[in-house]
Every structure is written in C-alpha cells, then in structure tokens.
Structure 1
Amino acid sequence: MRGANSAKWVAGAIVIALAATACGGSDDDSSSSGKGAGKAGGTFRLGITEPVAIDPYNSQESEGILVTDNLFTGLYEPTADGKVIPALATSKEVSADGKTWTFKIKPGTKFSNGEAVDAESFIRGWNRVAQKTAASDVAYHLAGIAGFDDVQAGKATTMSGLSAPDANTLQVKLSAPDFEFYVKTTHTVFSPVPKVAGDAKNKTYNEAPIGNGPFKMQGSWQHNKSITLVRNDSYGLTKAKLDEVKIEILNSNNGVTLEYQGFEAGTFDWARMPTPQLPAAKAKYDAQGEWIDENTNGMNYLLPITDNGPLKDKKAREAISYAIDRDAIIKGVFQGMQTKSTTILPPAFTSVYQKDLCQSCIKSDPAKAKQLAKEAGLTPGTTIELGYNTGAGHEEWIQAVKQQVEKVLGVKVKATGKPFAELLADQQKPGATGMYRFAWGADYPTPDNFLYPLLDTASINKDASGKVTGDNRGRYSNPAFDALLAKARATEAEAGRNDLYKQAEKLAMDDMALIPLWNRTQLRLANTKKFADIKMDFHEDPNLAEISLK
C-alpha cells in the first residue's frame, strides 16, 4: 500500500499467523470481541488529504483505506499486531496442492441497505475489480484466481475460479498454488458488494459506497471537502461505539500542518505533524498521554525507474544510494526519530529480516558513489527527476537528499512536489524516469505483500501505451526473482517459504530494485482526554470501530 504520508504500519512486533488448514479442517479462531470498554456516542474528527478512491475496487493508499476499511468487512482482518483473524469467515479449507480454498461465510449479516451478504456478494465484488475497464491499481491482488487473466483481457466477464456451492460457501480455485491466499483476503479489494454497486465505474456508488462494515456513509464524498461516516447499527459483528466520524479533506500542499494545527485548536482528535514540529509536539503532548510513538512495518524508499532514463543501470542506482548520508538526515531532519534502513523488508518481519542486506545503505561513500556513477555513464550535469507528494512532511528530507546527491555526483536533481494523486499518476505514466519518494507497508502480514506488489513482473501491468497500473512502478523485472516468489507461494511450510523470501529479497537488493532509506517510526497525536481505546490499527489509521467515549 502506498502511503500518502506514511506506509501502513503495525504497533509493535508483527506476529505472522499464516498456518493453513489442511483439507477437511476448519478454523477454531474466534472473531474479535469486546471492542471499546468505554461509553457509546460521540463524534471523532480528523483530517486527511483527498483519497484516490473509497470504493473497494480501487481503494489503495492510507487515506482511502481509512474510509473503505470502515465501510466494508471481508472474510478475514488483520489485528494491530499483525495476526490474521476471521471476520465473516467461519472456517477455511485448503486442498493438498494449495490450489483450492473453501470458505464458510457467517450467515445472516447484511449490507447497510438490508441486502444479504453471501458468497455471491463476494464473487460479485471480486469480479467487479478484475474487469479491465475498471483499471484498478489493486486488481493484481486477485491475479492468482483462475480466470483472472481472461477477465483482464476482456475474454470473459467472470473469473472461472469463483463459485458458490451454496449461499454461505465460497470456493476459490487458483491458477497456481498459494498457501497464504486467505491472508490476502484481508485487503479491502476482497470486499463483498451489493447488487446496487454495478460496474466499477458507477459514479454514484464510487462516491457513496454501500457496505457491510461497522460504519456507513452519511451522504456522499464531498471531494476536497469532507466525508462523514455514521455508525452502522445493523452491522453483523461487534458494533462500533462512536456515533459519527467527521473527516475533513485538507489542502494537499500543507495537509500535515493543518492536521497539527487542528489538533492544537481542538478541532481534530487525531493528527500527524510536520517534521520540524516533532520535538515541540513530543515535549508538549507526551507528558499528557496524547503522543503515540510506534515502530512499524512500514518502509521508506526511493523508487528508481529501472527500465528507462538515467537510473536504468543498477550501478547508477547504487551510486545514488552511496551518495546519500542517511545518518545525517535522520539526525538533522528527523531529530533522531527514524532509523536507517538496510533492507527491502521491514525489521518487524523478524522471521525473514536480513540486516545490512543493502551494503550501500550502511554508510555514505562519496568515492564509491562517483566510481559507480562513472561506470554506469551517469555523468556530471545529468538531470535526474525526483518526485514527491506535498503536504505530508517530506519537503525537508527531499531537499537534503537532493543536496547530497548533487554535491557528491555533480548531477542536477530536479525535485518536484505534487499532490499525492498526481504523484501516483506520474509514477504510472509512459516514459516515466528518474526516482520518486515511495513508502510501503503490508496490506496483509506476509513478506509476499512487499515482494510481489513492488517487484514481481506481474505487478507492472503495463498497457499498450506504456502506462503502469500495478504497484511495480519502478518496472523491475527479473525472471529468477519471479520464480522464487512463485515457489514460495507453493510451499506449505512457513520455514520453507521464509527461506525463499530471503533469497528473493537478496536478489532484488543486489539489483538495487529499490533504494532503502529508513525504517518506519510512526508518530501521532490522539485525544485521549475525551476518547478511550484509541490506538493505531494495521493500516496506520485510528481504530475507529473500537474507539469509545470516556
């Protein structure tokens, strides 16, 4: 998941619950319960920048996921600490070959319009995403389902791998083994939808999705102004306690500043902060119990375009990495509130973490940077584009990177800030070049969710014009890497999968497919004076469905 201000994160160490049930077995897990120890009622207020989408067919970054995740409930959900627990799934079975999954669905739950949530509503939602005309940036999450390629190509309208033996049974046949498939269903793209959803380009539904989650829309999305959610009293699981969530959509040029100002003024109950304000904010709010400081599973990178332009040669990408003094930026810009990254996968994935995998990330080496640049033909005076999103606190470190790279390599770095949606569009456009500010965190807790979306050839999804609609926006492609991931998915034992993930990560790191910068520490302000049970959820957002009044 791309983060507008940050990558998706998890409070504390991630616990990856990935055991698949053998054929004929079932879950004995129980759904989360007892949400919110405080009183019901109240309005929770926060600010975000304009989302890309709130309809699950294309909801993708932290802003949109905040809304979509509270409007819809799928088969499974991730807990804040990275466990995968049942939501609407009452059991799962997987065939011995890892290619057929059967889910039993909790009977009797409904969409907020009264329509039943059943197996067909899941099939409807997933087929809606897969249509080529949907042009979904997150459709690739369904790519393993049999028939996905035919739907994407316009040869079919439904995926052959989906069926409903009865109203509350969903069977999914995959085109290749995947013993982690059920984990992937925690993503909002796997949400069920009612019949009224229609085509993915149904503007009425796009702006006011009717879901089956703990909240429902009040009115429609007022673009660049606001979104209002109210409690869904017909929700089929544990009901939310908040009456209302008011989301103000802020100017993308200074969104984080406006969030912070809103919290200080008492108009927001949750906020991010501009980087220069972090020390003052910590000093003021930590003592009041309103400061949240968590190491997370998010990662920050520079995203190099690997198939075009000055960074096509991996030595050029290495030169950029060696030219950056990460320690100086962390000390000077972040006031020591971040930690240096030397991997593609985050330290929170303890079972696969390979510290110092990126040799050029450990310490800046100007001499080596210059030599590699020379070997790659990256000559002094060359212009390198550096794109980033505005209003999210990135300006200071972007300028630091620009100055360091220019000083060491003698190149010209053209740093261009744009609203987040425009930045994403630039990354996708035909002929993209240079590098971009990039952050990622797991949509679901498995290393596959870093390695496959960001680096697998299948995640490029380039159309005839050259536009990329997947999340492999660096256009990295290595058949050996792809084969390792496919083998990992087909490996039932977690230890065996993890070994393959490590091999794949090392291969991509040797190719400098991404340029790691720093691991993720997320910092937030929360109104704990008025509200109880506030914490960060798996998606970097406040856990709205669990918050209560004190």
Structure 2
Amino acid sequence: MRGAKSAKWVAGAIVVALAATACGGGNDKGDSAKGGVFRMGITEPTAIDPFNAQESEGSLVAHNLFTGLYKVEPNGKLIPALAESATTSDDGKTWTFKIKAGTKFSNGEPVDAEAFVRAWTRVADKKSASDVAYHMAGIEGYEDLNSGKSDKFAGVKAVDANTLEVKLSAADFEFDKKTVHTVFAPVPKVAGAADNKAYNDQPIGNGPFKMEGAWEHNKKITLVRNDDYGFEKAKLAKVEITILNPNNTSTLEYQGFQAGTFDWARMPTPQLPVAKQKYAPKNQWVEADTSGINYLVAFNQNAPLNSPDARKAISYAIDREAIAKGVFQGMQKPASSVLPPSFADVYQEGVCTTCVKQDVAKAKELAEKSGLKPGTVLDFGYNTGSGHEEWVQAVAQQLKDVLGLEVKLNGKPFKEALSEQKDKKTAGLWRSAWGADYPTADNFLFPLLATGSINEDPATGAAQGDNRGRYSNPEFDKLLDQARATKDAAARAALYKQAEKLAVDTEQGLIPLWKRTQYRLANTAKFDNVKMDFFEDPNLAEISAK
C-alpha cells in the first residue's frame, strides 16, 4: 500500500475553517450517548471502492466499509473474518474457503460466495483498469480476464452459497494471507461494473461502518456505524473525515488536533519532538514500528539510472544516519533492507550493502563507471504536504555535494505524484513508501519488484501496477514463484531472502532509506482504546467514546 502512506505506496485551508465545521472536538453529550463522533483528516484518495483503493487514504476508508475473508492484527497475525475455514490442496494450487453464513451488506443483500466471485471478476476485468488488480495475478484465468480475452474469472467459483473455490495458476501456500487486501473484498450486486460512479463515490459494503451520503470530493467523507454488521459492532456512532489541502496535510492535521477539531493527527517532521514532549505526558502520543519501508523509486529503464552501478552510486552517496539524526532528530532509523524487522523470519539487516554507511569514494567510483557525471540532471519527485520537504532537500544536497549532480526537485500532490510515476518516460528518483497490505514477504517483493507488477498498459505504456521503477529480472521472478510453491515456512523464507538479496543488493532495483516508525496524536481524553492498526491507521471499529 502506497503511503501518503500503504501504504499501503503511506488538508483544508485554515484551522479556523475546520473549527467552524467541527466545533468542540466531536464528542458532546448527545454524541457520547450514541457512541461518539471521531474526527480526522486525510488527503483526497484515489478511490474508496475496493476495485481500485490503493494508497493509505483510500484504503483507510475501504477497510472500514468492507470485511473480507480475513483481518490482521497489528503484529501481523491473521484473524479469520468471513472465512470460517480454509483448506489447500497438496500442490498448493486449489484453495477452498467456507464462508460464514447469515451476514449481509448494508443494503440487505447476502454476503455469500457469489459476492466474492462477482467482486474479484469486477476487479480483474480489463475495463476496470485497476491499479491493484495484479494482487490477483496468481489466480487461474486472470490474464484472460485482465487482457479482455474473457469476461469470466476461470479460477474463481461459488461451489455453493457458502463455499468459495479458488484455483491458482501456480502454487501459493500463502494465498490466504493475501485476501486481507481490500481488493479481495466482496461486493453486492448493486456495485455493477467498476465504472459505476454512484457506487464508486458511495460504496455499499459489509464492514463495521457504512457511508453517510456520497464522498464529497476534496471536502469530506462521512462514515456511520453499520448496525447490521455481521460481527462485533463498532462503538463509534460516526467518523467524520475531512479532506485537506494536499500541499500541507500534516500541518493542518497537527493544527486541527491542537485546536480540538481532530481526534487523530499526523505531524510535520520538524514538529515531532515538540509534539512528543507536549502530548506524551498526556498519554496522547502514539508511536509504533510498523510493517513498512521508506525508499526511493529508481526508474530502472530510463537514463540516468538505467544501470545497477548508477543506482548504487546514488545509494552510497546518501548519509542516512546524518539525516536521521539531523532532519528527523533521531525519530527515524536508517534502513538497509526492503523487508521490515517486524517480518522476523525474513528480515536481513544490512542486505543492501550500499545502504549501511555513506561511502563517498565508492559513490564517485560507481558514478564514473556508469556515466553519471557531475552536472548530470537528476529529477527527484516527492508528494507534497506530508512532511517530506525537509529530508528530500537534504538528500538532494548530499547528491549535489558528493556527485555534483544537478538535482531538480519535483513536488506534486499525492494523487498527481502517483500518476506521474506510472508514465513510461519518467526518469530519475521518486520518494515512496510502502506499508504492508498483508503479512507476507511476498507483499513487498512482488508488488515493488516483480515484472508482473509493472503491468504496462499496451495502449499508453503506463505502469498500472506498483512496480513503478520497472525493475525486471526473470531470475528474481522465478525465486518468488519458488517461494510461493514451497510449503515449508523456513525453506520459503530462505528463498525470499535470496530474492531480496538479488533485487535490492546485487542490482539495486530500488533504494531503501528509513525503517517505518510512525507517530500519531490521539484524543485519549475523549476516546478509549485508540491505537494504530496494521495499516498505520486508527483502529476505528474498536474505538469507544468515554
């Protein structure tokens, strides 16, 4: 999930305006009697409909509107939701899920096996042009459906009302974990095709919350408790999500929290130590080492970074420790791997040898060898409004000082940033982050580095998958296939480690920067049990008003 993360890949005009629409912090006696109103801010999502929900903002909404086969705890433990049981064939190619009977969508339609067939077909259909459909690429018949050769999903079948059978084109002993992603959520008949704008803007789901009115683009999204939810009901009555100016989202969230208009907030990087000092003693500071990575997308197929040596030169030139201590004031830790420490079975500290320590001599040697000469223009893109400006400028200055590059910074609102990364002509670097969608190494290595995750549109050349850097190596792809097909967990982990070593160290397909430690402010004076979930979002379905 791309991050604004995704995440997961992890703002209004002024605080006075926010105060006018959200007076009193959202929890007067009337609200408390009904469960309370929780208020927060995000940037404009790409989509909240599961067929294309992709970054942290849209995924936050989709996860609360829909419930799939499984959920996941903050520590990555898989928890059954609609899947009462799951069995897999000895060859790892056929999965059978027994679905909990008797639950329904908020419009009263039943949530049955057919609802999953309908939803997954809708996602993978060529006409949907989904950016996240590739998560289904391992299912038999995906290529025919996604290319337009068929309008049926051959590998997905409703055996009966409560039995879903999934046939894979290749073995995958971790397929059940992947269904945590909202792209695998069921949808009702009323969803129609993916171009159903009414449904896109007001999805009808089966989650702990439902929409109150349609998504008011660039203004707000309002969720209310779904009292017909098939599991434990949410305690909050309402969640009011304000869509903020993408150029200064984190500042507005922070100001909104200080003004009492938001109950959850991110903060600008320079404000983190001050905010911690003020709010930690009040038990309003939330800190977590999450399952994610901050990194630089290096566009592998276009000059000047179309060789491993050029990409390694960039990585060696960056002093991660200095930026962590200076810009981040010790509140971020340098990363030397793509896979996060929370995935203990596959984590390899130092697997990216160029990431361990700045090495000016090696950076210059590799730059000269690759033709990355002083004066070379290097485009460096990033999404605005999320506190990245300071560290991006610091990295740019180091690249100028060490390699003499002419670094051109290109700041864009998050939605525009994601779009520009898709363009086949994009070159240079782009700031990015990835928060786990589901608890597997595959969720990092496949989306970010596999050839199949480029998913190039034949007509436009745009990368429709999350491998925006377009790294491609058949040997790497084969290692992922072998890992998925390995039933033994330890042997599978060894193959994932080998794959990471090839892509991130030998060929520097992307450039790790910081581990993903996340900080938030939470209004614990008015709400209980406010935590950060696996996706780095507030655990809305579990929060209660005091």
Scaled to the shorter chain, the TM-score interval is over 0.9
Is residue 95–residue 166 contact of structure 2 (8 Å, CA) maintained in 1?
yes
Work out which of the residue numbers 139, 144, 167 in structure 1 matches 2:133. Answer: 139
* Matches of 2:261 and 2:247, distance apart in 1: 20
Is residue 101–residue 162 contact of structure 2 (8 Å, CA) maintained in 1?
yes
1:352 maps onto 2:346 in alignment: yes
Q: Identify the residue that residue 19 of structure 1 maps to in structure 2.
A: none
Overall identity of the aligned pairs, in % = 65
Work out which of the residue numbers 465, 486, 489 in structure 1 matches 2:484. Answer: 489
Question: Counterpart of 2:427 in 1: which secondary structure?
Answer: coil
Deviation, 1:385, is 0.6
Q: How many residues align?
A: 523
1:379 maps onto 2:373 in alignment: yes
Is residue 3–residue 9 contact of structure 2 (8 Å, CA) maintained in 1?
no
* Matches of 1:262 and 1:326, distance apart in 2: 31
Question: Counterpart of 2:431 in 1: which secondary structure?
Answer: strand
Specify the code of the residue in structure 2 equivalent to 1:322: Y
Work out which of the residue numbers 106, 112, 115 in structure 2 matches 1:112. Answer: 106
* Matches of 1:275 and 1:148, distance apart in 2: 42
Q: Identify the residue that residue 525 of structure 1 maps to in structure 2.
A: 521
Specify the code of the residue in structure 2 equivalent to 1:542: P
Shift in alpha-carbon separation, 1:322–1:39, aligned structure 2, 3 A = farther
* Matches of 1:412 and 1:246, distance apart in 2: 44
* Matches of 2:516 and 2:159, distance apart in 1: 44
Q: Identify the residue that residue 302 of structure 2 maps to in structure 1.
A: 308
* Matches of 2:171 and 2:500, distance apart in 1: 21
Q: Identify the residue that residue 509 of structure 2 maps to in structure 1.
A: 513
Deviation, 1:351, is 1.0
Matches within 5 A, 1:381-460: 381-460=375-454
Matches within 5 A, 1:182-193: 182-193=176-187
Q: Identify the residue that residue 160 of structure 1 maps to in structure 2.
A: 154
What TM-score results when the alignment is normalised by the length of structure 1?
A: 0.94
Q: Identify the residue that residue 534 of structure 2 maps to in structure 1.
A: 538
Deviation, 1:40, is 6.0
Question: Counterpart of 1:176 in 2: which secondary structure?
Answer: coil
* Matches of 1:127 and 1:308, distance apart in 2: 34
Provide Cα deviations, 1:336-367, integer angstroms capped at 9, x if missing partner. Answer: 00111011111111111111111111111112
1:229 maps onto 2:201 in alignment: no
Provide Cα deviations, 1:149-194, integer angstroms capped at 9, x if missing partner. Answer: 0001111111111111111110001111011011101100000000
Question: Counterpart of 1:287 in 2: which secondary structure?
Answer: helix
Question: Counterpart of 1:284 in 2: which secondary structure?
Answer: helix
Specify the code of the residue in structure 2 equivalent to 1:3: G
Q: Identify the residue that residue 240 of structure 1 maps to in structure 2.
A: 234
Deviation, 1:266, is 0.3
Is residue 5–residue 435 contact of structure 2 (8 Å, CA) maintained in 1?
no
Is residue 188–residue 205 contact of structure 2 (8 Å, CA) maintained in 1?
yes
Specify the code of the residue in structure 2 equivalent to 1:215: F
* Matches of 2:112 and 2:357, distance apart in 1: 54
Provide Cα deviations, 1:301-334, integer angstroms capped at 9, x if missing partner. Answer: 0110001120001111011111111111011100
Specify the code of the residue in structure 2 equivalent to 1:114: G
CA-based RMSD of the aligned residues comes to: 1.3
Work out which of the residue numbers 78, 81, 97 in structure 1 matches 2:75. Answer: 81
What TM-score results when the alignment is normalised by the length of structure 2?
A: 0.94
Question: Counterpart of 1:472 in 2: which secondary structure?
Answer: coil
Work out which of the residue numbers 258, 261, 267 in structure 2 matches 1:264. Answer: 258
Deviation, 1:61, is 0.8
Q: Which structure 2 residue ranges, 5 or more long, are not aligned?
A: 11-31
Shift in alpha-carbon separation, 1:160–1:299, aligned structure 2, 3 A = same
1:330 maps onto 2:315 in alignment: no
Specify the code of the residue in structure 1 equivalent to 2:4: A
Provide Cα deviations, 1:189-236, integer angstroms capped at 9, x if missing partner. Answer: 000000010010110000000000000000000000000000000111
Specify the code of the residue in structure 1 equivalent to 2:2: R
Work out which of the residue numbers 357, 361, 368 in structure 2 matches 1:363. Answer: 357
Q: Which structure 1 residue ranges, 5 or more long, are not aligned?
A: 11-37
Q: Identify the residue that residue 15 of structure 2 maps to in structure 1.
A: none
Deviation, 1:140, is 0.4
* Matches of 1:65 and 1:209, distance apart in 2: 13
* Matches of 2:433 and 2:325, distance apart in 1: 20
Question: Counterpart of 1:501 in 2: which secondary structure?
Answer: helix
Question: Counterpart of 1:328 in 2: which secondary structure?
Answer: helix
Deviation, 1:5, is 4.2
Question: Counterpart of 1:475 in 2: which secondary structure?
Answer: coil
Deviation, 1:132, is 1.1
Specify the code of the residue in structure 1 equivalent to 2:138: G
Q: Identify the residue that residue 204 of structure 1 maps to in structure 2.
A: 198
* Matches of 2:353 and 2:112, distance apart in 1: 50
Is residue 46–residue 58 contact of structure 2 (8 Å, CA) maintained in 1?
yes
1:62 maps onto 2:62 in alignment: no
Q: Identify the residue that residue 128 of structure 1 maps to in structure 2.
A: 122
Question: Counterpart of 1:163 in 2: which secondary structure?
Answer: strand
Is residue 9–residue 538 contact of structure 1 (8 Å, CA) maintained in 2?
no
